[in-house]
């Protein structure tokens, strides 16, 4: 993917990231997953966004960068969330990666998440291996060390896997856990692949 792919509004980017590979490289290992669920955050007028009312701080600075800047933050003091800046520099939109489907190597993903090989997991554990923002970050060893880095780098990046997701197979729904966001909580800015078993919720 090139820079221009990420220099688009967050809603367009969130839809177009579905089906793409999210690849993590670290310590000589490579993990491949497929993006199956995203959320768009549309910047200073979006009451669910960290930058609502143009709250530009050292924490939110990655969002103000040109599209393709990694933004990793912590929730509940323990779970990391992966976001990618969208649009052009100075327009602080982003896409939250909410869920991915594990592709390979299954044992490494499973060890990162549960400290067990994949064939030792229960069906419940397999379903929950990467189906949430904190879960996928644990499975892919994503933490604040990646914050402010480029998604076009060699540690964490997006690959086109030539899978075309039909418009009819993209479900639009309300974003998750943003009840504080007044009317913005009802915007249909969460997107996921229809019938995929690895999404966080329907």
CATH number of the domain at 109, please: 3.10.300.10
- If one counts the domains in the chain, the total is 1
Domain assignment present for residue 200? The answer is no
Instruction: Indicate whether 201 belongs to any domain.
Output: no
- Domain-embedded: residue 202: no
39 SS3 class: strand
User: Of 196, 63, 82, which Cα lies nearest the Cα of 144?
Assistant: 82
**Domain with 38 in it:** 3-193
Residue 27 inside a domain? The answer is yes
Residues of the chain with pLDDT under 70: none
| Residue 63 burial (10 A CB sphere; 0-12, 13-18, 19+) | buried
pLDDT number for residue 163: 86
- pLDDT digits over 10-26, tens only? 999 999 999 999 999 99
Q: Is residue 199 part of a domain?
A: no
User: Is residue 124, in this structure, part of any structural domain at all?
Assistant: yes
pLDDT digits (tens, 9 = 90+) for 129-166: 999 999 999 999 999 999 999 999 999 999 998 888 99
Q: Look up residue 91 and give its two tokens.
A: 């327009």
Q: Is 49 inside any structural domain?
A: yes
pLDDT attached to residue 173: 98
* pLDDT for 164: 86
> 198 in a domain, yes or no?
no
pLDDT at 74: 94
Write down the pLDDT at residue 13.
Answer: 99
Q: Copy the structure tokens of residue 35.
A: 């993006």
In this prediction, residue 93 carries a pLDDT of 98
Q: Which among 14, 4, 7, 13 is positioned nearest to 99, based on CA atoms?
A: 14
Residue 111, pLDDT score = 98
């Amino acid at each position: 993917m090139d820079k221009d792919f990420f220099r688009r509004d967050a809603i367009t980017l969130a839809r177009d990231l579905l089906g793409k590979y999210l690849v993590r490289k670290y310590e000589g290992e490579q993990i491949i997953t497929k993006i199956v669920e995203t959320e768009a955050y549309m910047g200073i007028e979006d009451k669910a966004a960290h930058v609502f009312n143009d709250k530009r701080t050292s924490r939110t600075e990655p969002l103000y960068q040109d599209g393709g800047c990694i933004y990793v933050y912590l929730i509940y003091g323990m779970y990391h969330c992966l976001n990618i800046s969208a649009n052009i520099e100075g327009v602080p939109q982003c896409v939250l990666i909410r869920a991915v489907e594990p592709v390979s190597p299954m044992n490494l993903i499973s060890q990162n998440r549960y400290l067990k090989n994949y064939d030792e997991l229960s069906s419940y554990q397999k379903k929950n291996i990467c189906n949430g923002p904190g879960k996928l970050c644990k499975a892919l060893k994503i933490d604040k060390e990646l914050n402010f880095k480029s998604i076009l780098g060699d540690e964490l990046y997006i690959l086109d896997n030539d899978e075309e997701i039909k418009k009819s197979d993209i479900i639009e729904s309300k974003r998750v856990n943003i009840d504080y966001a007044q009317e913005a909580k009802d915007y249909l800015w969460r997107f996921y692949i229809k019938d995929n078993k690895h999404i966080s919720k329907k």
